[in-house]
Structure 1
């Protein structure tokens, strides 16, 4: 059902796709589609499902307990590797990303991006930063700064104000600022 909704949203546009058309395409009843919710809820579920799949897909090879020290440049590359798939996904279809951002801003539907998935990304970022010369406190603060910069960049890409290349370049600037941070205590 979500596959049908996503395909129709991308092919026909979010506004032109109807619950009835999604149900017909998915070969289910409109009641089955509505059990997920309205179109906004379907859109949030599509984005959340894709983002969760990316996180779960890297749980195995991405060792969170790795304490091997990382030079700043290697850490910066790994941080970018964590978020680049999301920036790319948002840039894939700006209209759909704009709709998603609008749903999130309205607050009418909860997104895992700001709940469990947020914590997963924060944990991944902090684990990476903990392997740099940053202190534990700086690694935590850096992870939060990167997470909020990431959200801002996703919303900006979704708004169409930045293309994918510019978004990645701007996020790289934030990453470099964080990983090259030399605390006030040093």
Structure 2
């Protein structure tokens, strides 16, 4: 039947896209963005170059890979390299305490939500810089600015509400923290900022938004 044929074609297309994105992700992490070619992605995915291009050019594929990695980081299913975790060398609470005084469990929890993203950036610094540049050039709306952003901000606002901040202010602060996080990553991409410096900058923003007490 025509409907079954359409479903079959859609299924094949999605499976091909999955192979292409998986192959691109492996090559980007292994060799970096600039050394990875569309032809190499096609070879790894065992498809034609044309099939790769139907999923997107190299910049689009990089953004789609980051959408996948960010989703896994938010879900807690992405395992960061051990060397990156030890590179930070400081617990979330210690970062906030060093800059703002005694930390709360909520402050530490909020920083813990962001740390995997900062650590991923540190583990793949050159690739993340290429990703930041791609975001500036590619049209469309990556998931990082859409569904993934909404999910992360929900987690942040829930934590803020739990310490007595009103829902309206918690939503506003969650949005501001999310924007601070992105701003720090873009600033890191354009400078020689270190993982420690990026984490401390985010810690100061978290401390500001959690120390304010607003009426319900």
Normalised by the length of structure 1, the TM-score is 0.83
Q: 2:154 aligns with which of 111, 123, 145?
A: 123
Q: What is the CA–CA distance in structure 2 between the aligned matches of 1:182 and 1:56, rounded to whole Å?
A: 30
Aligned residues: 172
Q: Secondary structure at the match of 1:110?
A: coil
Q: What is the CA–CA distance in structure 2 between the aligned matches of 1:120 and 1:13, rounded to whole Å?
A: 28
Q: What is the CA–CA distance in structure 2 between the aligned matches of 1:114 and 1:26, rounded to whole Å?
A: 28
| Corresponding residue of 1:63 | none
Q: What is the CA–CA distance in structure 1 between the aligned matches of 2:168 and 2:140, rounded to whole Å?
A: 33
Give every structure 1 segment of 4 or more consecutive aligned residues whose post-TM-superposition deviation is greater than 6 Å: none
| Corresponding residue of 1:138 | 169
Does the 8 A contact of 2:60 with 2:138 survive in 1? Answer: no
| 1:131 Cα deviation from its structure 2 partner | 0.2
| Larger relative contact order (Cα-Cα within 8 Å, sequence gap ≥ 6) | 1
Higher share in helix: 2
Moved more, 27-36 or 93-102: 27-36
| Corresponding residue of 1:177 | 208
| Corresponding residue of 1:30 | 49
| 1:178 Cα deviation from its structure 2 partner | 0.5
| Corresponding residue of 2:34 | 15
Q: What is the CA–CA distance in structure 1 between the aligned matches of 2:133 and 2:206, rounded to whole Å?
A: 27
Normalised by the length of structure 2, the TM-score is 0.72
Pairwise CA RMSD of aligned residues? 2.0
Q: What is the CA–CA distance in structure 1 between the aligned matches of 2:112 and 2:209, rounded to whole Å?
A: 16
Moved more, 115-124 or 7-16: 7-16
Alignment of 1:66-145 (within 5 A): 73-145=104-176
Gaps of 5+ in 2: 1-19, 78-102
Structure 1 residues 69-118: Cα deviation after superposition (integer angstroms, max 9, x where no partner): xxx71111111111111111112222211111111122434310001111
Q: Secondary structure at the match of 2:104?
A: helix
